[in-house]
Structures are given as C-alpha cells and as structure tokens.
Amino acid sequence: RKKARESCSLPESSWEERLANVVTPLWRLSYQEQLQVKYESQRKILQTLTSRLEELGIDAQKPGGLCCPLQVVVPSPIINGYRNKSTFSVNRGPDGNPKTVGLYVGTGRARNIVCVKANNMENIPSKHKQVAQCYEEFICRSPLDSCILFHEGGHWRELVVRTTSCGHTMAIITFHPQELGQEALATQKALLKEFFMCGPGAVCALTSLYFQESTMTRCSHEQAPYQLLHGAPHIFEELLSLKFRISPDAFFQVNTAGAEVLYQAVGELCQATGDTVLLDICCGIGTIGLSLAHRVSKVIGVEVVEKAIEDAKWNAAFNGISNCEFHSGKAEAVLPQLLALWEDARPLVAVVNPSRAGLHYRVVRAIRNCRSIRRLLYISCKPEGEAMRNFLELCCPPDPRKKLAGEPFAPVLAIPFDLFPHTVHCELVLLFTR
C-alpha cells in the first residue's frame, strides 16, 4: 500500500509505470540484481526468526548469525510472462471509464483507486492480456453497469484467466446478480457465451468459460457454484512428466516452470526412502504428493477445497499412481484425527504448503505431538507473516498449557525459490528436523 501511494505521487510517470512500480517493483533491475534483493530480504526474515527463537530461550544462532544456513535464491527458469493465473479487476480507469479491466493503483482506504490496464506488465502473458481486453470490450457494450461498490449496484466484476503449457485457457467471470431474476441472468450468460464463442472474443480460443454469481468479495464453489457456459470443465497441465487436471478454484503454483524446480528440490530434501510415508498438508490438486509418489511407500494428502481433492484423485488415477489417498476437509479437523492414533512404524515426513494465513494452531499441535514426524518441510510465500508464528510454535519448548507435548523441531536449512520474478516475493522452503 505504501508503494502504491508513493507511486501515485510521481506525476512525471505514466499510469503504466505506476502500475508496474506497484505490482512488479523490481522490474527496472536486472534479474541478477533482483535475486540479490530477494536474498537480502530472506536473510532478514531468518534474522527475525533467529531473534524470536532466542527470546524463547533457544540457543538458535549458528555460524553466520542465523538459525540455519540460507542458500542463494534459486532462479526462475522463466522471467517474463510466467504467470499461469491472473486476476483482473473492474473499476474506473485513468480516463474515468468505470468499465476498465486491469489492476489497481492506489488503495481503498485512501479512496484513490485507479484501475490500469495490464498491457505492459512483464509478469503477465499476452494471452491473459488478450482475454482481459476482450472482456472489457464486452462489458463496455453491455447496458449493465460494472459493480464497483456492492451497495451502489452494478453487475460486472472481476475476471480470472488461467492458462497452461498445453495451450489451454480458462476464463472465470464474476457477476453480482443484485436484483436480477433468472431470466435476465440467463440472457447475460447467453450474451457472454456468444461474444466469446462467435463474436470478437472468439480470438481468445477459450478452452473453458465459467460464470459465477457472487454477492461476496470472494466465493468458493460451495458458496456460489462455478457455472460452465462453454467448453471443458477442466484445463490440463503437465509437470514433471505427470498430467494434472485443474478446476476453476483449485490451487496450482502460479509459475509452472518454477514449480518443477521447487518440487524437485522438495523431493531431495525429504530424503524419502522406499518405506517412507509422505504427509502432504494443503495438497491442492496433489502436485507435490503425486510428483514424489514414486519415491515413497504412501502419500496422504489433505486439502480444504473439495473440487481440488476431486482433481487430486483423478490425477492419481490418470497417471496410474495407486499409493495415494486424499482427504477433503479443513486440515485442523482432518489431521488431528489422522495422527492421533498413528501407529505405523514407517518413517513419516510432512510437507506443508499453506496459504498466506499459515497453518491453524491445531495442525501445528498435531504435528508436534506426532512422534513419528521427524522431518518437516514448510513451503511459504510469505514467511514474514503468519508462517512466522508457525515456525515458533514448531520450535518452542514443550508447553503443557498449549498442549504442545512433543519434542520441538529445529530449522536446519532454508532455500528461497524465485517463483515471482519482478516482484519482491519468494517461495521459501524451510527444513525442520528433530
């Protein structure tokens, strides 16, 4: 937000430059310079973790002043146009057009939001920009208003575009129904389908066109079902010689080529043997577990998004992988039940890849209290956020008040992966053992 306000105060720069400064603040640097910036930021995060562990009475500082060695940032194989998923907003543009499709400059709190077209964004592929431009053309033709503030009415809302290396393109359009009846809604869906199948939008060659009627900021499929207007219900991606089916709201790493590098490293860090059981927490459509299934005796995946679990089971069957089981539900409800009575003598390795909100406390407690888990890989795109709380919960001394009876973990290695070139973000893999 601070960057957004600062960039808005540069009158000499174009709106495109302001947007690039907000969304991809490292875009002016060479890629080697970007990697160095990210290394320094990850080092500061580890310094914070080291200090917090020291506050808990843990002698965490190792040679180099950190709680564990920090490797150099692993570069992304693709630097430009790497995103396989982009979310575009609808709002007023710099010219006042309330039906501009793009990305935000400014903040809601400051009431200075401007929606700027993403045509010059280096991290977004041309196909995503093409679909966004066509969607803008469609809603500009529509007599219905865009929905900028829910209570002020309007209908047309954000657009999500997903693409794969297989050449598939999925578009998901969010629409606020307001007071429209079913007949009027059916008319809008028919017009949208006609535009993208037979009209100017046909140039996008969409594999899937979805429509979601949503009265909330973000809705899951269970809250507001994704309605398939045209094409296939799924798109497909290939990763590490496996084929993956992707539903509209399923999580998939935003940088496919970078994800391959990440998952290969995770496989090495697991040090799995033929009798290892891999616990894949927040497994999404099963990418990590399935890519490592050939190394282990069994994979157990847990994921809250039901459709993603359906994808994971399909992906396992399609790829001929039979040693995986996937559980749908919140990890804090499923995992304690799975681990409470764990008596399997095989070594158990956990890989967790939660959202920015981190792991629920009950998940951390279940991991801590399961003696069979001696090795844990935590993958985080925001380790300075809620994940930091998880790190401390994993490493703190046993605490009966918090029901943390298990032996504490210790961080032994940190490896950042650049899955987000031009931005300040990294995917940090922290290896914990006990």
Partners of 185 in the beta sheet? none
Q: Would you say 47 is a known binding-site residue?
A: no
Grouping H, G, I as helix, E, B as strand and the rest as coil, residue 176 is coil
Instruction: List, as one string, the DSSP characters of 220-244.
Output: -TTTSPPEEEEE-S-EEEEETTEEE
Per the CB < 8 A criterion, the answer to whether 377 and 266 are in contact is yes
Q: Is 134 annotated as catalytic?
A: no
- 341 CB contacts (<8 Å, ≥6 apart)? none
| Residue in 401, 141, 422, 398 with CA at minimum distance from that of residue 258 | 422
Q: How deeply is 211 buried, as exposed, middle or buried, from its count of CB atoms within 10 A (0-12, 13-18, 19+)?
A: buried
Per the CB < 8 A criterion, the answer to whether 315 and 245 are in contact is yes
Distances (CA, A) of 302 to 265, 306, 348, 376: 21, 10, 15, 15
Q: Would you say 194 is a known binding-site residue?
A: no
Torsion angle of C-alpha atoms 221, 225, 231, 232, degrees rounded to 10: 40
Grouping H, G, I as helix, E, B as strand and the rest as coil, residue 393 is helix
Q: Would you say 303 is a known binding-site residue?
A: yes
In eight-state DSSP terms, residue 69 is -
Q: Could you give the CA distance from residue 162 to residue 15 in angstroms, rounded to a whole number?
A: 25
Q: Could you give the CA distance from residue 75 to residue 276 in angstroms, rounded to a whole number?
A: 30
Question: Exposure pattern of 87-122 as b/e (b: 16+ CB <10 Å)?
Answer: ebbbbebbeeebbbbbbbbbeeeeeebbbbbbebbe
List 204, 381, 395, 426, catalytic entry:
381
Residues annotated within the binding site are: 253, 303, 353
Residues annotated within the binding site for S-adenosyl-L-methionine are: 253, 303, 353
Which are the catalytic amino acids? 381
